[in-house]
Amino acid sequence: MTIPTKRFRVRIDELRSSLAHIKGLEVSIGKIVEEWEEPEGPTPFPSVTDLRDWDFKLLRRYRPLYIPFCDLCCLCTFGKCDLSRNKRGACGLDIATQQSRIVLLACCIGAATHTSHARELVEELIKKYGRDVPMDLGTGIRVEAPHMRLVCGIKPKTLGDLEAALDYIESQIVQMLAAIHTGQEGSNLDFESKVFHIGMLDHVAMEIADIAQIIALGFPKGDPEAPLVDLGIGTIDLTKPVILCIGHNVIPSTAIIDYLERTGLSDSVQVCGLCCTAHDMTRYNKRARIIGPISWQLRFIRTGIPDVIVLDEQCIRTDIPSEAKKIGAVVISTSTKNCLGFPDKTHEDPDVIVDELVNGKIPGALILDHEKVGEVAVKAALKLAPKRVKFKSLPNVDEVIKYSKMCRKCRECERACPNNLPISQALSKAAQGDLSELAKLYDYCIACTRCEKACPVGIPIFSLISKASERKMKEEVFKIRAGRGPIQDVEIRNVGRDIVLGTIPGVIAFVGCANYAEGGRELVEMCEEFLRRNYIVVASGCAAMTIAMYRNEEGKTLYEEYPGEFNAGCLVNVGSCVANSHISGAVIKIANIFARRALRANYKEIADYILNRVGAVGIAWGAMSQKAAAIAAGFWRLGVPVIVGPHGSKYRRMLLGRKDRDEDWYVYDARTGEKVYVGPVPEHLFYAAETKEEAMVMAAKLCMRPNDTPKGRAIKLTHYIDLYRKFFGTLPPDLHLFVRTEADIPITVKEEVLKFLKERGWKERPTPLEPTLLEELVKRRVSA
């Protein structure tokens, strides 16, 4: 692999000449390679094939299960090819390969989105603060960029150093996209390997994005006591003009906050956000408010509260301009990726833009100068708010009843609803003046408004649901811990041993979007279950917001109830989507900081370590986007299993192990070279659960690893048995596969388990001292 910035490199250990005495010089064209005492590992800036053998080891154990979402391929002018039942298309592709190809396409979109976000942030921050902003993530964080170190083999020292890794990622994304073209890759497993590759790169890109904004914008630096900030529609001060920011790129929002501070208007205007931009706004300034996750976009806009809506990038509803028009709000678009057909006002005088927006002369403005966005948004909000009082309400109850009476009971709304909600029944009751059934839908509705588009008589169904739930919305006043960013090295040192030996039962990460099949409460219930069981619980993105949206009997959210350290029984909010890289970064750091495995360009060894020793599982219960697919793929290549909710089945491919195939579950003991059966741990790599109970039991099971000590395995089995019994009423039927010796059996159920094991003909089996899938580690170890 040629590295974008290092096409030619010379290393001189020592050179004496009549002119000079040179020692330890390393030079490459375009860049001086930084000094780093750690020797470079085998795969710096890996190409897709450099780690293919590792991918194939994973794919031999975790075989893809394809659940095709479409029987056809319609990407070329051969037309629609019928791929059903193993027919091949005009280009020769079969349906399995087509599914893996689409998975790769989704992951490329996801990784490109994060990379583009990272690039924009780095460029913008360099422009504002210079290339030399030091890579200072606080005194507790010395391994500042675990992904960059691991994948690229470079250790960034300044903001400017992040660009080399971005160059590399962009070149790889182009290659992966090229592989999707008709008549390129023809093997489903090679597509899957490329999916893993793009996932790995995605985590590097996310890491770059987040550490860039942390070091340049003063976000919390791995602070377990990051402030508790406000979340919910009810936290908005309705007496002030309201600016709503939606998206993921925080730069325009920071410009608004800065402008307010510069002009002394911070107390006069309310700034709030939706989706990941909101997370990052509160990391920048704790006065900002989070409205909620992605599915709160229309909920909030239809209340009429926002005066100005500022859009940046990613996960933004594309109908925001028309929704804003209905409530008389104005829209400013700030990203080249999301121009929305608006006139480009980047070089226009701010007061002229404000006048055009406020007086409806333009439908919205594209402004690519973020400083100008700050000024225009604030001035427009101040001018517009007094004129918009009449818009700040939902339909009244009489209107709800009137609309409900229009319903023909055709159920087209239900046929369009992703969650098949009983909308007709609720409208029927509402027509009689009873809005309670409509209000019940609020908790389960993901606010996609497909129901409205399907309604043949044009009932604004979602607005009616919102009106019926108005009280509930106003009571949305919660606390969330602001995203703290990375996990500190000292925290890793404190818990690394317990995670690897299994005495902390696992790390459960709740990540992803808000496409929940049965409402967000399920996510909170799962989160609380694992917190009570002393798992380390980590959260990010929309999932982290959902977790904040329910209170216990004392009126506290889980963030108020549980500390924010990376430790057993604690709840860590790392931050926005791009902060997911700190979750995977933490598992990498366990291998590096606790186990002292070399990090630099040493991907396979670290991933092998994580797969066999670090009991971490991701749960993306409402995963929706292509970014979520790419994030999951990055976890897979590292050997971290991911569970998605039922809607996640639409990612169309799972990676499942087969516990009934003993031959799949052998590893090497690196100390002896022997092959040892370790049982199905972890059993799956990617899995869509049907119910929350299934997900919880599966998560507890997937935390088991070959390296667990007897004590650690007993703790993990305690939770697996207890959760299984709680939901299914018996001992887990596959329990014998996870008990290696009697010492693994939890003492509280020892007799019962021994009886069960006897019935199964169970026998004790050896446990490897150093489990690995990598032959090269055996050789190294044995020869040593």
Partner 1 sequence: MSVEPWQKAEIAGPIKAVPIKDPKALATIIKKYKKPIIIVGHLISKVEGMDLVEYIIDLAKTIDADVVVTNTLIRKFHERGFKRATYMPALEIIDRLRDPLWRGIHGDGNYDLAIFIGFQYYYEWLLLSSLKHFAYERLDTISLGPYFQPNAKWTVPTLPLNTWYKYLTDLKDSLTKSLRCKPREKNV
d(CA 415, CA 422): 10
The stretch among 290-298, 662-670, 705-713, 729-737 that binds partner 1 (CB under 8 A) is 729-737
CB 156 within 8 Å of CB 23: no
CB-based contact 454:411 (threshold 8 Å): no
- R_g (Cα) of the chain, nearest Å: 27
Give 677's strand partners.
Answer: 666
Which residues, numbered 418-437, are part of the site for partner 1 (CB under 8 A)? 418, 420
Q: How far is the CB of 188 from partner 1 (least distance, A)?
A: 12
- Binding piece for partner 1, criterion CB under 8 A, among 10-18, 250-258, 646-654, 702-710: 646-654
- Which H helix or E strand runs over 278? helix 276-284
Q: Is 600 in the site for partner 1 (CB under 8 A)?
A: no
Q: Quick one: 551 or 658, whose CB is closer to partner 1?
A: 658
Query: Residues 362, 454, 490, 777: which binds partner 1 (CB under 8 A)?
Result: 454
Q: Does 78 bind partner 1 (CB under 8 A)?
A: no
Q: Select the residue interacting with partner 1 from 6, 604, 647, 719 (CB under 8 A).
A: 647
Q: State both tokens at 30.
A: 């375009």
Least gap, CB of 203 to partner 1 (angstroms)? 25
Q: How far is the CB of 358 from partner 1 (least distance, A)?
A: 39
Residues 673-692 binding partner 1 (CB under 8 A) are 687-691
Which of 483, 646, 680, 682 is the binder for partner 1 (CB under 8 A)? Answer: 646
Q: Which is nearer to partner 1, 250 or 526 (CB)?
A: 526
Q: What DSSP designation does 157 have?
A: -
Burial 440-478 (b: 16+ CB within 10 A, else e): bbbebbbbbbbbbebbeeebbbbbbbbbbbbeebeebeb
The residues, ordered by sequence, that sit 6+ positions from 656 with a Cβ below 8 Å of its Cβ are 62, 63, 65, 684, 685, 686, 687
Q: Which two tokens stand for residue 691?
A: 């119910």
Regarding 731 and contact with partner 1 (CB under 8 A), the answer is no
- CA-closest candidate to residue 644, choices 515, 753, 764: 515
Q: How far is the CB of 651 from partner 1 (least distance, A)?
A: 10
Q: Which of 267, 727, 747, 782 binds partner 1 (CB under 8 A)?
A: 727
C-beta closer to partner 1: residue 65 or 133: 65
Binding mask 293-332 for partner 1 (x = CB under 8 A): ----------------------------------------
The Cβ of residue 672 has, within 10 Å, a number of other Cβ atoms equal to 14
State the nearest-atom distance from the C-beta of 333 to partner 1, in Å.
Answer: 28
Q: Considering the complex, state which of residue 582 and residue 647 has its C-beta at the smaller distance from partner 1.
A: 647
Which region among 80-88, 288-296, 488-496, 743-751 touches partner 1 (by CB under 8 A)? 80-88
Partnered with residue 510 across adjacent β-strands are 539, 619
Residues 513-572 that bind partner 1 (CB under 8 A): 517
Torsion angle, CA of 377/382/388/391, rounded to 10 degrees? 50
The distance of closest approach from Cβ of residue 655 to partner 1 in the complex, given in angstroms and rounded to an integer, is 10
Closer CB to partner 1, 336 or 730, in the complex = 730
What's the burial of 581, exposed, middle or buried (CB within 10 Å: 0-12/13-18/19+)?
A: buried
Residue 187 within binding range of partner 1, rule CB under 8 A:
no
* Distance of closest approach, residue 152 Cβ to partner 1, in angstroms: 35
Q: Which residue has the tokens 């596959």?
A: 734
- 652 scored as a contact of partner 1 (CB under 8 A): yes
3 state SS of 574: strand
CA distance 311 to 717: 47
Secondary structure of 497-562 as H, E, C letters = HHHHHCCCCCEEEECCCCCCCCCCHHHHHHHHHHHHCCCEEEEEHHHHHHHHCCCCCCCCCHHHHC
Nearest approach, Cβ of residue 409 and partner 1 (Å): 11
Q: Which of residues 16-75 bind partner 1 (CB under 8 A)?
A: 65-72
Question: Smallest distance, Å, CB 719 to partner 1?
Answer: 17
Binding flags for partner 1, 493-522, as an x/- string (CB under 8 A):
------------------------x-----
Rank residues 65 and 76 by Cβ distance to partner 1 and give the closer one.
65
- Residues between 399 and 418 with contacts to partner 1, criterion CB under 8 A: 412, 415-416, 418
As measured in angstroms, the least distance from the Cβ of 526 to partner 1 is 14
What minimum distance in Å lies between the beta carbon of 72 and partner 1?
A: 5
Does position 117 interact with partner 1 (CB under 8 A)? The reply is no
443 makes contact with partner 1 (CB under 8 A): no
| CB of residue 753 to partner 1, shortest distance in Å | 18
Q: Is 76 a residue that touches partner 1 (CB under 8 A)?
A: no
Number of residues this chain uses to bind partner 1 (CB under 8 A):
44
Walk across the sheet containing 571-575 and list its strands: 63-66, 653-656, 684-688, 642-644, 616-620, 507-510, 536-540, 571-575
- Does the footprint of partner 1 cover residue 759 (CB under 8 A)? no
Q: Which is nearer to partner 1, 609 or 686 (CB)?
A: 686
SS3 of the chain: helix, strand, coil, percent, to 5: 45, 15, 40
Minimum distance between the CB of residue 566 and partner 1, rounded to whole angstroms?
30
- E-strand ranges in 334-415 read 365-366
Pairing of strands 63-66, 653-656: antiparallel
Smallest gap from Cβ 682 to partner 1, in A, equals 14
Distance of CA 81 to the CA centre of its chain: 34
Residue 635, CA atoms < 13 Å, CB-side half-sphere = 34
What are 654's strand-pairing partners?
Answer: 65
The yes or no reply on residue 662 touching partner 1 (CB under 8 A) is no
| 197 vs 701 by CB, closer to partner 1 | 701
In the list 59, 95, 244, 465, the residue contacting partner 1 (rule: CB under 8 A) is 95
> Which part of the chain contacts partner 1 (CB under 8 A), choosing from 77-85, 135-143, 372-380, 706-714?
77-85
CA quadruple 308, 313, 314, 318: dihedral, nearest 10: 50
Amino acid found at 517: A
Position among 631, 654, 676, 721 found at the interface with partner 1 (CB under 8 A): 654
Q: How far apart are the first and last CA of the chain?
A: 30
The structure tokens listed for 62 are: 């975790």
Instruction: Give the nearest distance from C-beta 192 to partner 1 in angstroms.
Output: 16
Q: Which is nearer to partner 1, 510 or 687 (CB)?
A: 687
Q: What are phi and psi of 619, to 5 degrees?
A: -120, 110
- Report the amino acid identity of residue 435: L
| Nearest residue to 442 via CA among 325, 303, 645, 544 | 303
What is the token pair recorded at 286? 């704790």
Look at the alpha carbons of 105, 109, 114, 118 in this order and tell me if their dihedral is positive or negative: positive
Interface positions with partner 1 (CB under 8 A) = 65-72, 82-86, 95-96, 412, 415-416, 418, 420, 454, 517, 646-647, 649-650, 652, 654, 656, 658, 660, 687-691, 693-694, 698, 727-730, 733
